[in-house]
Amino acid sequence: MLVVTPAVRALEMAGVSFTLHEYEHDDGIRDYGREAATALGLDPDQVFKTLLVASGDPARGGEVAVAIVPVSTKLSLKAAGSALGLKRVEMCDPTVAQRLTGYVLGGISPFGQKKPLRTAIDETCELFDVVYVSGGRRGLDVGVAPADLMRLLGAVTADLTA
């Protein structure tokens, strides 16, 4: 069965080579990234989670941006803010994150979001030939070359981990 999500469509439209990796999502698990790494038998350093951060209230002109880090790590808000040129960021409200991206928590892909957001990716992505990010729903990851990930998202790379 062909899986079609906005993320998959965005990758296809960009002509980027990618692989799809499906797994059975367990609704009782909330650490979606680690679940993906375990279910797919992948190195947790090679599987990246897509997190949204906000610099102020988006309803009042605050900016929302994306930070992508390995599932084996924690995001440093200070480092994310610095990489994105924002003074101070905090984790984005989950409802706002879902509304802005068009995806549900645990399935937020950096690709095919409703509105393009500035993006920073942890520099360790460059250690791998392929990294894995959400494919746009829980239970689906896509494997892409880090160079394609950075190019398609117009992303900066930096040390984003705590």
- Per residue in 47-56, pLDDT (tens digit) is 999 999 999 8
CATH of the domain at 25: 3.90.960.10
Domain count within the chain: 1
Residue 89 lies in a domain: yes
Let me know if residue 1 belongs to a domain: no
Beta carbons within 8 Å of 80's beta carbon, 6+ residues apart? 53, 65, 67, 86, 89, 120, 160
Domain hosting 21: range is: 6-158
What is the per-residue pLDDT for 146? 98
Report the run of H or E that residue 151 belongs to, with start and end.
helix 146-153
Enumerate residue ranges in the chain where pLDDT < 50: 1
pTM: 0.94
